[in-house]
Amino acid sequence: MKLHTKQLPFGWLTNLQTIPKLLLLSATLLLPLTFIFFCSNKSFLLLPYPSSSRIISDSNTSSSILEIDRECDISRGEWVQDSDAPYYTNMTCWTIQEHQNCIKYGRPDMGFLKWKWRPNGCELVHFDPTQFLEVVRGKSLAFVGDSLARNQMQSLMCLLSKVEYPKDISNATDENFKRMLYSSCNFTISIFWSPFLVKSEDPNDQTTLWTLYLDEPDEAWSTKIDDLDYIIISDGNWFSRPSMFYENKKLVGCHFCQVPNVTDLTLHYSHRVAFRTALKAINRLPNFKGMVMLRTLSPSHFENGEWNNGGNCVRTKPFRGNETKMEEMEFKLYRAQVEEFEKAKTEGLKRGLEFRMMDTTQAMLLRPDGHPSRYGHRAHENVTLYNDCVHWCLPGPVDVWNDFLFHVLRL
């Protein structure tokens, strides 16, 4: 079975790295300043929106707030050159995880940083940290999912770092859950580690297979989101791991288990059912009143092999839309996410819940040049186990996920 070779090395990054102590210190130092300059004055939100074409600088945002184009489909477009990018570097942002700190680990070409996403027929407003913090003042945002959820969270923290670093207010006893506070705006970002979204058990001494309880949401997040304002589901790649599927506590099938009399239902089955279960669980939370967002499947870009046999991603430029096509397996996963999300949205609407899609898949499909390749995973130990063509360099094209977030939050 071919799919097995797509199993991805996500065990790399199981837990959130501790935010450097420096960061805490800086948050304390910056706090009074940021409060005065960025968060105490809401009046600029009341200004009429001018029709100028881009935000010029952070110090002068009040005169350049851009209206978002609600009719525009931001998910389809092309990457165009942007000489102003990047908007942060590894020198200005301290929260880049080693695995994604590509420039630090010697990535020689910088051209991949000089692009922006231009949707067909409109401009995507570039992330503005000051305005973002105004929009989310007093709110709580949670990322739920795998290491790509963390990739987006770290991008968000870097984009916000021009204004403020957060303070870690996590419960130290809970490694799968972190919470960061932007004190000046009382905005929190949380992350819940849940790579299958549903209850799961690791392989153990008896088996090399994961156990997935496809109809039981992972309580690590599902019991803790009641009072949150925004949830971003960000998941998908772990389903390629060989696993046994349980529903109603009974074995119903597997993915690549090669066990006699157990039907191989493939990862498409577990992935779809897990998404359905997770979204249903949210819709059934009696006290949840937040907004649910889905950051759709993040394509990988191994060429000349898979992750475990020398595959790599060495391109230095984006594709044009007509130069590539998603591989079928990833397309099916993407489609299942969109379908399950749309179904859940219909259900959620009945009780007044908002579901908004951040469909970044096509944009990222066109960025084979955005992954760490050998300048990431364990490069700091001078060991390259795999070429990482799954996660995304920071800074890099993944920053567009937060442009999407900024857009979607204001719809």
Q: Which positions are catalytic?
A: 147, 388, 391
In the complex, the smallest distance separating the C-beta of residue 329 from ligand NAG, rounded to whole angstroms, is 23
Question: What x/- string results for residues 307 through 336 when contact with ligand NAG is judged by CB under 6 A?
Answer: -------------x-xx-------------
In the complex, the smallest distance separating the C-beta of residue 70 from ligand NAG, rounded to whole angstroms, is 26
Contact between 101 and ligand NAG (CB under 6 A)?
Answer: yes
* Nearer CB in complex with ligand NAG: 52/346: 52
Contact between 48 and ligand NAG (CB under 6 A)?
Answer: no
Question: What x/- string results for residues 205 through 234 when contact with ligand NAG is judged by CB under 6 A?
Answer: ------------------------------
Structure tokens at 378: 């364990």
Contact between 260 and ligand NAG (CB under 6 A)?
Answer: yes
* Residue from 68, 103, 254, 353 in contact with ligand NAG (CB under 6 A): 103
Count residues binding ligand NAG (CB under 6 A).
20
* Nearer CB in complex with ligand NAG: 320/325: 320
Asked if residue 101 lies in contact with residue 388, where contact means CB atoms within 8 angstroms, the answer is no
> What percent helix, strand, coil does the chain show, rounded to 5?
35, 20, 45
* Nearer CB in complex with ligand NAG: 74/102: 102
User: Nearest Cα to 214, choosing from 200, 225, 202, 232?
Assistant: 200
The rounded Cα 211 to chain-centroid distance in angstroms is: 25
Specify the 3-state DSSP secondary structure of 334.
helix
**Other CB atoms within 10 Å distance of the CB of residue 164:** 25
Contact between 138 and ligand NAG (CB under 6 A)?
Answer: yes
In the complex, the smallest distance separating the C-beta of residue 52 from ligand NAG, rounded to whole angstroms, is 9
Q: Which stretch binds ligand NAG (CB under 6 A): 22-30, 98-106, 120-128, 209-217?
A: 98-106
Sequence-distant contacts of 302-307: CB under 8 A, at least 24 apart: 302/387, 302/389, 303/368, 303/389, 306/5, 306/6, 307/7, 307/8, 307/9, 307/386, 307/387, 307/389, 307/390
| Burial tier of 351 (Cβ tally within 10 Å: 0-12, 13-18, 19+) | exposed
Contact between 140 and ligand NAG (CB under 6 A)?
Answer: yes
Contact between 95 and ligand NAG (CB under 6 A)?
Answer: no
The Cα angle at residue 96 between residues 91 and 99, in degrees rounded to 5: 120
| Burial tier of 264 (Cβ tally within 10 Å: 0-12, 13-18, 19+) | middle
First to last CA, the chain: 43
* Residue from 104, 280, 315, 378 in contact with ligand NAG (CB under 6 A): 104
* Nearer CB in complex with ligand NAG: 52/304: 52
Asked if residue 296 lies in contact with residue 355, where contact means CB atoms within 8 angstroms, the answer is no
Contact between 411 and ligand NAG (CB under 6 A)?
Answer: no
Q: Are strands 243-247 and 250-255 parallel, antiparallel or unpaired?
A: antiparallel
- Give the whole-angstrom CA distance, residue 15 versus residue 122: 38
* Nearer CB in complex with ligand NAG: 186/362: 186
* Nearer CB in complex with ligand NAG: 153/273: 153
* Residue from 17, 63, 120, 258 in contact with ligand NAG (CB under 6 A): 63
Q: Which stretch binds ligand NAG (CB under 6 A): 16-24, 35-43, 100-108, 207-215?
A: 100-108
* Residue from 83, 171, 204, 248 in contact with ligand NAG (CB under 6 A): 171
Contact between 130 and ligand NAG (CB under 6 A)?
Answer: no
Rg (CA), the chain: 21
Identify any residues that bridge with 79 across adjacent strands, giving them in sequence order: 117
Task: Name 223's Cβ contacts closer than 8 Å, sequence gap at least 6.
Answer: none
Residues in contact with ligand NAG by CB under 6 A are: 56, 60, 63, 90-91, 101, 103-104, 138, 140, 171, 173-174, 186, 260-261, 320, 322-323, 382
